[in-house]
């Protein structure tokens, strides 16, 4: 399969490397890592085994990549104003476009420029960080849950999940992408925001009873909102929260992406992870009051994102 | 009047200096500023006019100060475990004990060791910062509202307010100290916490619509809670909030004390400004939900303060 990776941060570099290692023909759109990867290839440091790709196709413009079978999108959502222009040169009638970006609104944005039936979305449970240019660190997890933007379990999505699994990436195709998206938000909304705001890791927030309770309470808010979004089946609150906390307990010292974005002075993914979910929750009559407080605190000093209503 | 200042931070140094300049016999309990003040006296840089006190009585233990007519307390509330021991050597049957500390619970603590009728409390609307040792900066405002811990308008509180005014400190005595305390919390709770948490100044938070709205909404929560605390007269929500915002608009670039405490790695005054008010609000059936979220975020990493319920 010919694959183009748009947005080669930690997620794009890691999944792209795994797919290339499995024999796929992968091209990466690179910026920060371009020179390092051209010179020395790409090094993956993974808890499941390190590896090095000495020959990597790195491009500086999407036109250099050209048409592919699969566009894999890992672009930070705060750069979404560039998304369509970055993806367009890779797309033919046959191309599948898979966004693994955070939060809500990404498939809708793609659907404004491409055919809805070409679009898939996925959520990635991946603990990874970029290292120095030319290196990526895979710290834990890695599972992808993907589905068609238009819903339903397609042959294409099943085949795609098979390809990912064959490449060593745990992956499930499902019929309700929206469920995957909201389930992921149950984790992302409390942890990304609270870690970014307090400067504390997942572990530190869970070890401190008042923030642990706040996390649980925010998860409850997200679940109540999610269950008014016409998901195929409701999220079972207490069970799901217990599962999320159990997963999180294994992420010793983990710093979510928004915390790192803030530390490194990048914009925050506030629209995708906060604004659009808050708007949809409000429209469905289930406002997320605690989430709203955190969003407002995060938004001050962020010139990029839209403002809360 | 012989006055002993316990807790010579910006507030204690400024008011103590003003009282000494007016002819009162003031002794300061010093720690950080001891050597500098012994050598060079105390310099006050004030928007109302700088002055220098070349002779200042600085002590390193409260026993050196000994009995006084008035104990003026500016101690940070996170050091309240030392309060009684610091005050005791200054107190006789005739001594008035005035705490200008932040938040709730300070008069009650004093009343656990001294006669309730000796205790007064006051709220200070003072924009001040410590400079290098031996210097204090008076940036704006300065008004004190004081009252008897046991309530009522006493001759003593009126005389004290007169002495303060004679020393150039705007001061009113009132019959309902609890009202003064809660009114001050309407400002302190949103601004101290949000500035400390976001690292943004009063001005930056007010200039950003989403945090401006959050501030107003938190003020509303505090007022609703305050109005269930048996105050002499209720706080009028919209009018009072408009007044607070108007005052705050004049504090260009101001950094509240909790923001500076956090920047300088000191503990935060969470018990006095958050925990006790939250507990009292909850007991009265008016929980402050947004304030609670901010408190929980502030509390992580603070080993000193009690935890939220």
CA A18/CA A36 separation, integer angstroms: 19
Q: Which listed residue (A184, A200, A243, A275) is catalytic?
A: A184
Q: What is the pLDDT of residue A109?
A: 98
- Per DSSP, A271 falls in state I
- A2-175 CATH, one of 3.40.50.720, 3.40.50.2020, 3.30.70.20, 3.40.50.10680: 3.40.50.720
Q: What average pLDDT does this structure show over B27-39?
A: 96
Instruction: Single out the residue of B159, B142, B175, B192 nearest to residue B11, CA to CA.
Output: B142
Confidence band, pLDDT 50/70/90 cuts, at residue B307 = very low
Q: What is the pLDDT of residue A112?
A: 97
Question: pLDDT, tens digit, for every residue of B245-269?
Answer: 999 998 889 899 999 999 999 999 9
Q: What average pLDDT does this structure show over B291-300?
A: 98
> How much is the mean pLDDT over chain B?
95
- Of chain B, the percentage scoring pLDDT greater than 90 comes to 92
| Cβ pair A157, A146 in contact under 8 A | yes
Q: What average pLDDT does this structure show over A29-47?
A: 97
Question: pLDDT, tens digit, for every residue of A199-240?
Answer: 999 999 999 999 999 999 999 999 999 999 999 999 999 999
Active site residue B184: yes
Question: pLDDT, tens digit, for every residue of A51-67?
Answer: 999 999 999 999 999 99
Q: Which listed residue (B184, B200, B243, B275) is catalytic?
A: B184
Q: What is the pLDDT of residue A213?
A: 98
pLDDT at B129 over 90: no
Nearest chain B CA: its distance from A109 CA (Å): 25
> How much is the mean pLDDT over chain A?
95
Neighbour count for residue A204 (Cβ, 10 Å): 15
pLDDT at B301 over 60: yes
**CB-based contact B208 A289, cutoff 8 Å:** no
Return the CATH architecture of domain A179-298.
Orthogonal Bundle (1.10)
| Cβ pair A35, A133 in contact under 8 A | yes
Question: pLDDT, tens digit, for every residue of A146-189?
Answer: 999 999 999 999 999 999 999 999 999 999 999 999 999 999 99
pLDDT at B304 over 70: no
* Tokens of residue B131, six digits: 């400079």
pLDDT at B280 over 60: yes
Classified as helix, coil or strand, B53 is strand
Q: What average pLDDT does this structure show over A112-139?
A: 95
CA B107/CA B120 separation, integer angstroms: 7
- Give the closest of B200, B293, B307 to A301, CB-based: B200
Q: Using an 8 Å CB-CB cutoff, list chain B residues near A208.
A: 299-301
pLDDT at B174 over 80: yes
Q: What is the pLDDT of residue B251?
A: 86
CA A195/CA A173 separation, integer angstroms: 30
B179-298: same fold as B2-175?
no
Neighbour count for residue A167 (Cβ, 10 Å): 18
pLDDT at B185 over 80: yes
- Per DSSP, B295 falls in state H
Interface with A, mutate which of B197, B275, B297 (most A CBs under 10 A): B297
Q: Using an 8 Å CB-CB cutoff, list chain A residues near B216.
A: none
Where exactly are the structural domains of chain A?
2-175, 179-298
Q: What is the pLDDT of residue B309?
A: 38
- pTM for the full predicted model: 0.92
Q: What is the pLDDT of residue A308?
A: 40
Q: What is the pLDDT of residue A304?
A: 57
- Per DSSP, A54 falls in state S
CA A187/CA A141 separation, integer angstroms: 14
**CB-based contact B208 A293, cutoff 8 Å:** no
Q: Using an 8 Å CB-CB cutoff, list chain A residues near B289.
A: 289-290
């Amino acid at each position: 399969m010919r694959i183009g990776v748009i947005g080669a941060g930690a997620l794009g570099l890691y999944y792209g490397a795994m797919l290339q290692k499995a024999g796929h023909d992968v091209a990466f759109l690179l910026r920060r890592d371009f020179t390092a990867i051209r010179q020395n290839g790409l090094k993956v440091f993974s808890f499941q085994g390190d590896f090095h790709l000495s020959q990597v196709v790195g491009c500086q413009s999407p036109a250099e990549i050209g048409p592919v079978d699969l566009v894999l999108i890992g672009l930070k959502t705060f750069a979404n104003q560039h998304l369509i222009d970055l993806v367009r040169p890779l797309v033919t009638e046959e191309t599948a476009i898979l966004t693994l970006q955070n939060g809500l609104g990404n498939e809708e944005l793609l659907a404004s420029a491409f055919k809805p039936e070409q679009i898939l979305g996925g959520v990635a449970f991946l603990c990874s960080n970029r290292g120095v240019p030319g290196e990526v660190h895979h710290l834990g997890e890695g599972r992808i849950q993907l589905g068609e933007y238009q819903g339903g379990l397609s042959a294409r999505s099943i085949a795609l999940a098979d390809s990912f699994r064959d490449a060593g990436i745990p992956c499930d195709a499902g019929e309700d992408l929206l469920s995957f998206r909201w389930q992921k938000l149950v984790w992302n909304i409390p942890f990304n925001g609270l870690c970014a705001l307090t400067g504390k890791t997942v572990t530190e927030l869970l070890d401190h009873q008042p923030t642990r309770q706040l996390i649980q309470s925010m998860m409850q808010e997200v679940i109540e909102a999610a269950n008014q979004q016409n998901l195929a089946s409701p999220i079972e609150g207490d069970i799901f929260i217990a599962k999320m906390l159990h997963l999180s307990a294994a992420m010793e010292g983990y710093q979510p992406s928004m915390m790192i974005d803030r530390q490194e002075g990048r914009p925050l993914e506030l629209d995708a992870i906060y604004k659009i979910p808050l708007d949809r929750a409000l429209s469905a009559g289930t406002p997320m009051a605690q989430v709203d407080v955190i969003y407002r605190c995060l938004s001050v000093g962020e010139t990029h994102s839209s403002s809360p209503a």
